[in-house]
Amino acid sequence: MIYPWDLYVMAGMYMVAGIMHFIYPKAYMRIMPKYLPHQKGLVLGSGVAEIVLGIALCFPFSKNWAIYGIILMLAVFLLVHFYMLSGKKASAGIPKWILVLRIPLQFGLMYWAYWYLKF
């Protein structure tokens, strides 16, 4: 084990999240902002990105670029989080207080990734 164990937890979390895009694509399609084109491609592409970035976190030669990729990806995902706050249909039935809490959580995930640049 080269890195702290929790870096591997993070890597696993992104890989599982990415796989879920292929198992339950309709769940992700429901929360995609309607103004974005090629929604199914974006859902599947973001799943691939999460899997690739999760794997890349585990190797010294790719860890830092994976961290920057994760931070960028999470910033782009903020579009979805804000879109879900735009109305009842967009919220996919998730209570508004949870949707609001997801926004600072997103920034927490970005910081968690950024923190590993020092290793």
Domain-by-domain residue ranges, the chain? 5-118
- Inter-axis angle of helices 63-84 and 96-115, nearest 10: 170
Kindly report the number of other CB atoms within 10 A of residue 69's CB atom: 19
pLDDT in the model for residue 1: 63
Distance CA 41, CA 36 (A): 11
Is 73 within 8 Å of 52 (Cβ atoms)? no
Is 42 within 8 Å of 36 (Cβ atoms)? yes
Kindly report the number of other CB atoms within 10 A of residue 109's CB atom: 19
Distance CA 46, CA 52 (A): 10
Q: What is the pLDDT along the chain (119 residues), one digit of tens a residue?
A: 688 999 999 999 999 999 999 999 999 999 999 999 999 999 999 999 999 999 999 999 999 999 999 999 999 999 999 999 999 989 999 999 999 999 999 999 999 999 999 87
Identity at 85, one-letter amino acid code: L
Kindly report the number of other CB atoms within 10 A of residue 31's CB atom: 15
Residue 109: C-alpha distances to residues 7, 32, 71 (Å) = 12, 20, 8
